[in-house]
Structure 1
Amino acid sequence: MNSSVFQKAVLLVAGVTAIYTGSSILISPDGFYSAYSISLSGNVSLTNELRASGASVLMLGLLTLAGLVFARFAMASTLLAATMFLAYGATRFLSVGLDGQPDGGLVTVMIAELVIGAASLAALISARRAG
């Protein structure tokens, strides 16, 4: 399968974003979350849980970038990116309705996740039509 320039751009943005986010959480959860006014307060169990999810996001980012390197993974990587970013963004949106307005930075993150997820979905649909 030959990936389009749009699909490759989406995979690059989605993959790099996930790798950066996951790495940041894995390496320094306190530092990462303090940027959003979230204090882990030395809670070892919470820090452990957050590092685990950071590693998951990091690995999903690597799998997303695999679609750039290996053409046979492009569709799966695009589907993965759409699923991951739309799930995070939609859940944050739901949380705003259920829990109230979070820190402004998290609202910005939600918008970015929804945009990357929608772009990934558009790239997936476009690639399926072309294929």
Structure 2
Amino acid sequence: MTLDRLQNFALGIAGLSALGIGAAITLIPHTFYASYGIALGSDPSLLSELRAPGACLSALGAVMLAGIMWRSLAEAALVAALVVFLGFPAGRVVGLVLDGVPSAGILAALVFELAIAVICLVAFRPGRGRAGPRVALR
């Protein structure tokens, strides 16, 4: 399957974002969360519970980037991008409803995640672009 420029861009921005954020959560969680005004402390259980999904986010980011390089992974890369960049905002919206308004940094993350989701949805919408084999949502 062939990806066009917008599809490559969508997977690239999604993949780099997920890989970078996931790596930061995994390797430097105190610094990452401090940027949102969250102090983590030193509880090994809490840190483990943060590092595990951080590593998963990194792995999904790697899949997104692999979809650019290996066309056979393009559909898996798109699924990974949509799961991450629709799933995270969904969780944040649940938090808004149940917990109230979070910090400005968390709200900015919500906007960023939604922007990437929109880019992915536009890039992979059915019927977009020229005729020929393209990866598209079905």
TM range (shorter): over 0.9
- Give TM-score scaled by structure 2 length: 0.88
1:102 counterpart residue number: 102
1:42 counterpart residue number: 42
2:33 counterpart residue number: 33
CA distance in 1, matches of 2:57, 2:75: 19
Shift of 1:25: 0.6
Give unmatched runs, 5+ long, in structure 1: none
Shift of 1:122: 2.2
Partner deviation per Cα, 1:76-121 (whole Å, 9 max, x = no partner): 2112101211110121022112111111000000111111112212
1:91 counterpart residue number: 91
One-letter identity of the residue aligned with 1:56? C
1:20 counterpart residue number: 20
Give unmatched runs, 5+ long, in structure 2: 129-134
1:124 counterpart residue number: 124
Identical residues among aligned pairs (%): 34
Partner deviation per Cα, 1:30-60 (whole Å, 9 max, x = no partner): 1111111111121211001111111000000
One-letter identity of the residue aligned with 2:35? A
One-letter identity of the residue aligned with 2:121? L
Contact 1:78 1:123 in 2 (8 A): no
Shift of 1:3: 0.4
Equivalence map 1:62-101=2 (5 Å): 62-101=62-101
Shift of 1:73: 1.3
Deviates more, 1:18-27 or 1:71-80: 71-80
Shift of 1:14: 0.3
One-letter identity of the residue aligned with 2:55? A
1:114 counterpart residue number: 114
One-letter identity of the residue aligned with 1:92? R
- The total of aligned residue pairs comes to 130
SS class of match (1:128): coil
One-letter identity of the residue aligned with 1:89? P
